[in-house]
Structure 1
């Protein structure tokens, strides 16, 4: 299975920048769906209401599904790869 990686930078409520990738099946091309995944994730981090648009989240590339991502993608449709300032 191939997945699409969406590179995302969101300004946190304290002004810091969260950097994470939204990883979803490559068939999902509707950016609004990808942004909704990001908004779900932000709620889990206490950052609900922060914008995720084409300014914050952009398609980056296609790659092969990694085993560590597979369960979450099958269960919720996407995987979040936390990169920087996501705690």
Structure 2
């Protein structure tokens, strides 16, 4: 499976910067859908209500999905790769 990687930086409620990638099937081109995935993730981290637009989330590249990514995409439509300040 080929996936699109969307590089995302969000200002957390405490002012720190949260960095993660939203990874979704490469056939999804609609940024609104990608932003919905990100907002769903932010809600799971008690960061709902934080801005998530094209300014915070940009397409980065296409790559082959790992088995972990594929499993998450099959389950909920997307995978989040946590990088900084996501805990």
2:64 equivalent in structure 1: 64
Alpha-carbon distance, 1:29 to partner: 0.2
5+ residue gaps, structure 1, are: none
In the TM superposition, structure 1's runs of 4+ consecutive aligned residues that sit over 4 Å from their partners are none
5+ residue gaps, structure 2, are: none
2:6 equivalent in structure 1: 6
| Counterpart-to-counterpart distance in 1, 2:73 and 2:61 | 17
Alpha-carbon distance, 1:70 to partner: 1.2
> Counterpart of 1:42 in 2: which secondary structure?
helix
| Counterpart-to-counterpart distance in 1, 2:83 and 2:67 | 18
| Counterpart-to-counterpart distance in 2, 1:25 and 1:66 | 12
2:78 equivalent in structure 1: 78
- For normalisation by structure 1, the TM-score amounts to 0.98
Alpha-carbon distance, 1:67 to partner: 1.0
- Please tell me whether residue 46 in structure 1 is matched to residue 46 in structure 2: yes
